[in-house]
Amino acid sequence: MDAMVTLLLDHAQLEISLSATERALAFRRTSIRVERSSIVKVQLTDDPWTWLRGVRARGTFLPGFTALGTWRTETGDDFVAVRGRRLPGVVIDLDGEGEFERLVISTRHGLALTRALRLNLDEAAEAVELGAEPAKEPQRTPRPASRPAPAI
């Protein structure tokens, strides 16, 4: 199982792309899609486990290992995709008009997500994939310090 879900963001929506295994564990047939305009607030967190609220309605819960699925609260449903103990996360509050009130997700890409959400994407833009690991740059060997030219 992957370490975390993949986040896709374009000018119209945010998609939490779930693998087949993740969909099975979350008891869902499809990935999560929310309109970008329905996002009210995005918060970064060092411990997404502290943001779980309500009771599990559908999904998988293994304390300290994984929480994946729908949590029911008094105010509405939350979608939760939290893994491991040391992964940071993001909490996305929604306007409550759609399927979920809040999204709680483990991701190392929370800062990139908040930056991407601030971008003004008026024209049709390519989707930004936030779940892929960045390619590593080749290591460069330091050049020896150059000596100044002698003064004449």
16 in a structural domain: yes
Cα distance between residue 26 and residue 51, in whole Å: 18
Q: Is the model's pLDDT at 123 over the cut of 80?
A: no
Cα distance between residue 73 and residue 15, in whole Å: 22
Domain limits for position 43: 6-129
**Contacts of residue 87, Cβ cutoff 8 Å, sequence gap at least 6:** 3, 4, 48, 106, 107, 108
pTM: 0.75
pLDDT of residue 85: 83
**Look-up of token digits 């300290």:** 64
146 in a structural domain: no
148 in a structural domain: no
89 in a structural domain: yes
13 in a structural domain: yes
What is the SS3 assignment for 143?
coil
150 in a structural domain: no
141 in a structural domain: no
Domains in the chain, number: 1
pLDDT over 90, % of the chain: 55
Q: Are 129 and 7 in contact (CB under 8 A)?
A: yes
Give pLDDT tens digits for 24-83: 999 999 999 999 999 999 999 999 999 999 999 999 999 889 999 999 999 899 999 999
145 in a structural domain: no
Q: Is the model's pLDDT at 133 over the cut of 50?
A: no
Average pLDDT, the chain: 81
Cα distance between residue 85 and residue 3, in whole Å: 12
> Cα-Cα-Cα-Cα dihedral of 29, 34, 56, 26, to 10°?
30
